[in-house]
Amino acid sequence: MRRIITISREFGSGGKEVGKRLADALKLPFYDSKIIHMLAKETGLQESYISEISEHGSYPYAFNFGRTFMALPTLQMNQNEILIAQQKVLKKIAEKGDCIIVGRGADIVLEEYAPVKIFVYADMDAKIKRCLAKKPSEEQLTLTEMKKKIKTVDDGRRRFHDILSNRTWGEKENYDLCINTTNLAIKQLIEPLAQYIENYYQGK
């Protein structure tokens, strides 16, 4: 049986790190922002633009054109078309073989592959702490601004999920396992999580 593991996560909860480390432990291909790169190649659009649409389901009001030349009709490409292109990319990835995918609504889009659906979350204080520890030195956000950023990103993820499904983003009923990273280090999670995945597929 094909092993597709999807990881949904709250911003700052360490979900990406969970996915990356789990992929290393299980020796599985790992897809995160790599998907944006694949999508940019497929559609000819700029990665930052696709990133906003494909993860958050919204058209960015402030859009940095950068130095990429894009014709207007391409720029106006319908949001739905990008989402459809992303679904194609996700299915291509799943068709290739076993993998771990973080975000991008993969838990919904790849439902036919019966993925193991994991949700990673944490208390707000823990998320703020993690974000502040990771933020690039030029980014000088206050605690309040960081909290606002976390909420804004997660609102976007919720909104994006709502476009794809009538199931609520982050509601435990929609996942196989929900992991709170507030009280333990991500690396402590990987061994039991890898074992969980092994056992999950045993005999399937």
Q: In angstroms, give the least distance from the CB of 82 to its own copies.
A: 30
Give whichever of 81 and 198 is closer to its own copies, judged by the CB atom.
Answer: 198
Q: In angstroms, give the least distance from the CB of 151 to its own copies.
A: 14
Instruction: Dig out the tokens for 128 from the structure.
Output: 């703020």
- 41 alpha-carbon distance from chain centroid: 19
Q: In angstroms, give the least distance from the CB of 103 to its own copies.
A: 18
Give whichever of 11 and 119 is closer to its own copies, judged by the CB atom.
Answer: 119
DSSP state of 172: G
Contact residues toward its own copies (CB under 8 A) are: 116, 119, 121, 123, 170, 172-173, 175-180, 182-184, 188-189, 191-193, 195-196, 199-200, 202
Judged by DSSP in three states, 30 sits in strand
Judged by DSSP in three states, 119 sits in strand
| Residue 100: exposure state from Cβ atoms within 10 A (0-12, 13-18, ≥19) | buried
Judged by DSSP in three states, 180 sits in strand
User: For residue 30, what are the β-bridge partners?
Assistant: 100
Q: In angstroms, give the least distance from the CB of 188 to its own copies.
A: 4
Give whichever of 49 and 119 is closer to its own copies, judged by the CB atom.
Answer: 119
